[in-house]
Amino acid sequence: MDKVVVITGASSGIGAALADSLAKRGAKLVLAARRKDELEAVAKRTGGLAVVADLTRAEDNQRLAREALAKFGRIDVWVNNAGKGITRAVSQLTDSDIDEMMLFNVKLPLYGMQAVLPHFKERNAGQIINVSSVLGRIPLFMPRAAYSGAKHYLNALTTSLRQELQPTHPGIRVTLVSPGVVKTEFGVNALHGGVDSRTIPTGQEVGEVGELIASVIEEPRDELYTRPAYKQQVADYYASLG
């Protein structure tokens, strides 16, 4: 695969698994996260460029784009994978809870999209991949309500960007990925803690999710549910509402 791929949240979980999958395919990787040691370990085994950055800051996304271009001369794919969960009932949510969910799950990917778009528009080529969640389609799990709402917002931004670009820059693809429970540290890293996602029997193996996202880089399309059953689950939910 002769593509330069930027991955945010690449120090662990889905981001690290995607880096492993793409490295096997020969992609050139630019890996970004806040945790320096963990990020550099992933970069070492995948041959990627590690960029330590706080991607909740727009300027760090701009720096990430500059460093990727300085290293490789182009960017082909930008994967907005970094995000954060929460465990708190709706009746207990605070302003800071909502602000943090919006910062990590809406503003952070928006900053990434805006950082790479000028380069993609100049070439009329490129792919933006936003990693959302099945919870961005249906509110399945009450303690994740604020996360679910933020991912709904991200889904709307993703689809709207696709609509914005289609008339003038049809060479740019905008892809939405919707996993369910994935066996990562997502649960224990959630705001206010939570169940370890790695202990949930129905959870999907992170390596499988990495391979699936790599597949939509090889053959781009607009949407990917990481299990076919999730798409049917969403359809059934809305059908049940009449």
Residues in the chain with pLDDT values less than 70: none
CATH T-level fold of 4-240: Rossmann fold (3.40.50)
The CA distance from 99 to 68, in Å, is 29
Q: Are strands 172-178 and 4-8 parallel, antiparallel or unpaired?
A: unpaired
Return the bridge partners of 176, or none.
130, 223
What is the helix (H) or strand (E) element at residue 96, kind and residue range?
helix 95-102
Structure tokens at 48: 């990627």
Residue ranges covered by each domain of the chain:
4-240
Please check whether residue 124 is in contact with residue 144, taking contact to mean a CB–CB distance below 8 angstroms: no
What per-residue confidence (pLDDT) applies to 153?
98
List the catalytic residues.
Answer: 147
* C-alpha–C-alpha distance, residues 212 and 109, integer Å: 20
Q: What single letter denotes the amino acid at residue 158?
A: T
pLDDT for residue 229: 96
Residue type for 223, please?
A: E
Query: Diameter of the chain by CA atoms?
Result: 53
Q: What was the pLDDT predicted at 196?
A: 87
Per-residue model confidence (pLDDT) at position 126: 98
- Residue 177 has a pLDDT of 98
